[in-house]
């Protein structure tokens, strides 16, 4: 059998080479999303809820600015709360001595914990009612945290009145009661109104810094002048007017010829022309001039009580 060969026909087709397709690169973020135990559709829903919640917060702020009725604003805020914008945590900074639980109690005392409805100014005002707190800053950190930064007062003295001891700061603000068995190492001011004189008392002590560490207590007499009690047991009666100058003069005299720790009971400088001193067993009075300056008051020792109180 013969095979017929057609001439002039089309040459046989060669196999077509396939083009190489570029391999799609997968980013690290895509790999992380793929590893999550939720679908991509669910992630989209979560993102939508987050945006909706944030939009609710912004909408509430705008509503308050333009005067939208409160019922509508509250509804938006509560919706934001249900979307996750709700107070769940409180971070407090700045506390050193004050009870932290007191701050938590104020911050959580809200009609609603929906974050947009928390009145930051009201929280701050309540905190400022505590003696320890000199200032406070309250802010939000979305979605669920209140930030409270406290500025505490610094204790300056212990005030004793009618047998009660109270810690006070340099301006006389009452901080907290003091246990008589655990009195802190601070100046003691005694008497009605002495707490309101704390700033003036600090100015008085600053006039004679060499004596300041030797003063144990100060009694506010007649709501007009101070009696100082020293660690060595003596009492110094200061005048109503010119007390800082009188205390400085006493310090100069004590520096020239030591007076404290020499057995004296009481010094009286209410008369600016002389220093009256009382010592147990003294039978006669005598004047001792200051050796440092001729204008200094003289010193008189006596066996009786030096003048009356007042």
Query: Is there a single domain that holds both residue 174 and residue 219?
Result: yes
Task: Identify the H or E element spanning 44.
Answer: helix 40-66
Contacts 24+ apart (CB under 8 A), 242-251: 242/272, 243/204, 244/203, 244/204, 244/206, 244/207, 244/208, 245/207, 246/272, 247/204, 247/205, 247/207, 247/208, 247/211, 248/207, 248/208, 249/296, 249/297, 250/208, 250/211, 250/275, 251/208, 251/210, 251/211
Query: Is there a single domain that holds both residue 168 and residue 144?
Result: no
Query: Is there a single domain that holds both residue 200 and residue 298?
Result: yes
Whether residue 169 contacts residue 201, with contact meaning beta carbons closer than 8 Å, is answered with no
pTM of the model: 0.64
Distance from chain centroid for Cα 247: 33
The pLDDT, as a whole number, for residue 32 is: 58
Is 245 within the bounds of a domain?
yes
Domains contained in the chain, number: 3
Query: Is there a single domain that holds both residue 74 and residue 53?
Result: yes
Q: Which domain holds residue 175?
A: 155-302
Share of the chain above pLDDT 70, in %: 62
Look at residues 102, 128, 152 and tell me which one is the last residue of a structural domain: 152
Confidence of residue 110 (pLDDT cuts 50, 70, 90): confident
User: pLDDT digit string (tens) for 170-190?
Assistant: 999 999 999 999 999 999 999
Query: Is there a single domain that holds both residue 163 and residue 289?
Result: yes
Residue 166 sits in a domain whose CATH number is 3.40.50.11690
Cα–Cα distances in angstroms (integers) from residue 226 to residues 197, 217, 245, 262, 277, in the given order: 10, 10, 13, 22, 17
Query: Is there a single domain that holds both residue 47 and residue 140?
Result: no
Look at residues 47, 82, 117 and tell me which one is the last residue of a structural domain: 82
What tokens appear for 69 in the block?
């009725």
Query: Is there a single domain that holds both residue 244 and residue 106?
Result: no
């Amino acid at each position: 059998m013969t095979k017929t060969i057609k001439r002039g026909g089309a040459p046989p087709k060669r196999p077509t080479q396939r083009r190489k397709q570029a391999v799609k690169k997968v980013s690290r973020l895509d790999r992380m999303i793929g590893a999550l135990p939720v679908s991509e559709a669910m992630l989209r829903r979560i993102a939508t809820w987050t945006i909706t919640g944030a939009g609710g917060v912004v909408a509430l702020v705008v509503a308050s600015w333009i005067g939208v009725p409160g019922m509508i604003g509250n509804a938006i805020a509560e919706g934001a709360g249900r979307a996750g914008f709700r107070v769940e945590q409180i971070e407090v900074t700045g506390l050193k001595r004050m009870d932290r639980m007191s701050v938590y109690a104020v911050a959580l005392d809200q009609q609603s914990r929906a974050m947009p409805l928390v009145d930051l100014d009201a929280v701050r005002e309540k905190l400022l009612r505590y003696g320890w707190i000199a200032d406070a800053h309250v802010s939000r950190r979305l979605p669920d945290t209140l930030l409270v930064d406290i500025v505490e007062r610094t204790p300056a003295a212990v005030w004793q009145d009618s047998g009660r001891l109270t810690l006070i700061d340099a301006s006389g603000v009452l901080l907290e009661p003091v246990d008589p068995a655990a009195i802190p190492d601070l100046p003691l001011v005694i008497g009605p109104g002495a707490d309101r004189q704390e700033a003036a008392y600090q100015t008085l002590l600053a006039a004679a810094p060499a004596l300041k560490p030797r003063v144990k207590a100060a009694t506010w007499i007649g709501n007009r002048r101070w009696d100082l009690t020293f660690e060595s047991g003596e009492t110094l009666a200061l005048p109503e007017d010119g007390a800082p100058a009188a205390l400085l003069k006493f310090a100069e005299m004590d520096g020239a010829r030591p007076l404290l720790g020499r057995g004296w009971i009481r010094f009286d400088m209410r008369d600016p022309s002389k220093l009256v001193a009382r010592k147990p067993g003294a039978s006669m009075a005598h004047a001792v001039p200051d050796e440092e300056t001729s204008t200094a008051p003289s010193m008189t020792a006596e066996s009786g009580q030096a003048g009356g109180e007042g």
